Amino acid sequence: MLHSRTDKGFVITNFPRTPRQADLFVKALFRVDLALYFYTDTNSLVERAKQRAGGENFDEANVRREIAYANRDIKGCLGKYSEKVENINTSGQPEEVFEKVEQAFSKRLNLTIQRPICTESDYVRNPGETKAFDQPETGTRNYMISSY
């Protein structure tokens, strides 16, 4: 059942979080064709977190500590996929970042992304309800997206 559901490939986001998870994933499950690593400087991440929090109960020291832990863990994972990693700086405008993602897919997987990839209505029918994406036949591709 699992194999038939993944024949066309799949995307995993925010995984692995630890080097051990990275080892187990490759050993037990699948190969990785592409790993996208989204990054930016810590000050930008703190500012984004502050905006999301809306100023309520924002603990900058805690956010910086969590970023440091996440960076440590993610860097340990990236080594497991070193030849498959595309580093994408997210400090630019969303359109610029998306262009870098398109380039990574094109370079590593020889895929062209047809716009628009999706809109909110493609995956959200009602608040809290989601559906699977209908993807065209593209062959088997497995890629991971990790960010912080």
In one-letter notation, the amino acid at residue 104 is A
Using CA atoms, how far apart are residues 23 and 4, in angstroms rounded to an integer? Answer: 23
Tens digits of residue pLDDT in 8-55: 666 777 777 888 888 887 777 667 788 888 899 999 999 988 988 887
Which CATH number belongs to the domain containing residue 61 in this structure?
3.40.50.300
Residue-number span of the structural domain to which 7 is assigned: 2-147
From the number of C-beta atoms within 10 Å of its C-beta (0-12, 13-18, 19+), residue 114 rates as exposed
* pLDDT per residue as tens digits for the range 69-107: 888 888 888 877 778 889 999 998 888 998 998 888 888
Task: From residue 129, give the alpha-carbon distance in Å to each of 121, 122, 133, 135.
Answer: 11, 11, 13, 19
Contact, 121 vs 46, CB < 8 A?
no
Domain tally, the chain:
1
> Which value, to the nearest 10 degrees, does the dihedral of the CA atoms of residues 113, 133, 7, 78 take?
60
